[in-house]
């Protein structure tokens, strides 16, 4: 495994980071508790020391599972990344910005973006309890909240750093303009944004700004929620309540198949799977600090970690770049 310094912080994070959205179950067709814990343990066993989660993932379940999985382990060798700012329990009392309705147990639950200072402080205390720790390595605003001034949210993060409850502060899904505004109040450690072979829009302005200002970029959905593994063109099927039934509809399946057919021989030459090749390519892109990869069981977790066991030459990266122009 390779460990990388995150932006202007002293955090050294694993290049492949465990993404804990799916183990929350909500929007992913449920989960299996022991499989999820085994996936976290396997990640740690294979050098993936960084775990990224959020209160919203399973309405607290993802954080609780991580807390249970790391109990008794050396906390100093594990980096916990979590988020705040998505409220589903009504505690915002109608304040904030309506986001969407999340389905859970046959119910429709309204979710709000809410990043007021008091809510930031409240959420951190709840996350610390669920995670079973007394500090968070990186706390990130999950989504922008248009109803709360950015400087108010960033001031709360500065306060939490001063109190030692968080080591560093970042954002997620922030535009260039929002990053610039936040930078007036705090030294941002990172911006967690979607980035993949099929979605490279951040290369236009977010990545150049991050490189210039020593801000880390955390890439999420590098496999496009499993689409780039190729398995959904074969035998794998999605459950009815899996959000990917709709998500995959934005892509042209024939173009994706054509790309995967080109990538497959290269992966085989590297003795790697398609998912490993895609993850490795993502780690090698300019400005990308770490790459999130989800896993529902130990086998998937070990497979993700092994993406760092080979490299790609400049010629190979250029060849892949040429293929991507056709997608």
CATH code, domain carrying 204: 3.20.20.100
Domain count, the chain: 1
Identify whether the C-beta of residue 136 lies closer than 8 Å to the C-beta of residue 83.
no
**For the chain, where are the alpha helices, taking DSSP H only?**
33-45, 61-70, 117-131, 150-162, 176-182, 206-212, 244-247, 253-269, 274-283, 298-305, 314-324
Identify whether the C-beta of residue 77 lies closer than 8 Å to the C-beta of residue 2.
no
The Cα 93–Cα 311 span in angstroms is 50
| In the chain, % of residues over pLDDT 70 | 90
For 97, other C-beta atoms within 10 Å of its C-beta total 16
pTM of the model: 0.92
Taking only the tens place, the pLDDT of each residue in 212-252 is: 999 999 999 999 877 888 766 555 565 655 566 566 666 77
Identify whether the C-beta of residue 188 lies closer than 8 Å to the C-beta of residue 171.
yes
The range of the structural domain enclosing residue 282 comes to: 3-324
Looking at residue 28, its pLDDT comes to 47
What letter does residue 134 receive in the DSSP assignment? S
Question: Catalytic one among 3, 18, 57, 247?
Answer: 57
Taking only the tens place, the pLDDT of each residue in 254-292 is: 888 889 999 999 999 999 999 999 999 999 999 999 999
**Residue 57 known to be catalytic:** yes
């Amino acid at each position: 495994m390779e460990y990388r310094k995150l932006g202007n912080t002293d955090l050294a994070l694993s290049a492949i980071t465990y993404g804990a959205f799916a183990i929350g179950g909500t929007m992913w067709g449920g989960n299996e508790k022991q499989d999820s814990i085994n996936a976290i343990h396997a990640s740690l066993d294979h050098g993936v020391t960084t775990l990224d989660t959020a209160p919203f993932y399973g309405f607290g379940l993802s954080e609780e599972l991580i807390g249970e999985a790391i109990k008794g382990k050396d906390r100093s060798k594990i980096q916990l990344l979590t988020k705040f700012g998505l409220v589903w329990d009504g505690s915002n009392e109608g304040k904030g910005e309506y986001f969407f309705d999340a389905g859970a147990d046959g119910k429709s639950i309204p979710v709000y973006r809410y990043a007021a200072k008091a809510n930031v402080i409240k959420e951190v205390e709840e996350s610390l309890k669920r995670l079973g720790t007394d500090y968070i390595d990186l706390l990130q605003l999950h989504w922008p909240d248009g109803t709360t001034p950015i400087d108010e949210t960033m001031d709360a993060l500065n306060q939490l750093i001063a109190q030692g409850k968080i080591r560093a502060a970042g954002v997620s899904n922030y535009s260039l303009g929002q990053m610039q505004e936040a930078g007036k109040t705090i030294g941002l450690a990172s911006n967690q944004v979607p980035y993949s072979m099929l979605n490279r829009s951040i290369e236009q302005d977010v990545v150049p700004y991050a490189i210039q200002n020593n801000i880390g970029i955390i890439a999420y959905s590098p496999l496009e929620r499993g689409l780039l593994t190729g398995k959904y063109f074969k035998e794998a099927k999605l459950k009815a309540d899996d959000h990917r039934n709709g998500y995959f509809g934005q892509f042209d399946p024939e173009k994706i198949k054509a790309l995967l057919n080109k990538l497959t021989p290269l992966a085989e030459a590297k003795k790697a799977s398609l998912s490993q090749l895609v993850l490795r390519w993502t780690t090698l892109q300019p400005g990308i600090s770490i790459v999130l990869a989800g896993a529902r069981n130990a086998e998937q977790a070990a497979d993700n970690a092994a993406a760092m066991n080979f490299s790609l030459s400049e010629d190979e990266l250029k060849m892949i770049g040429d293929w991507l122009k056709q997608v």
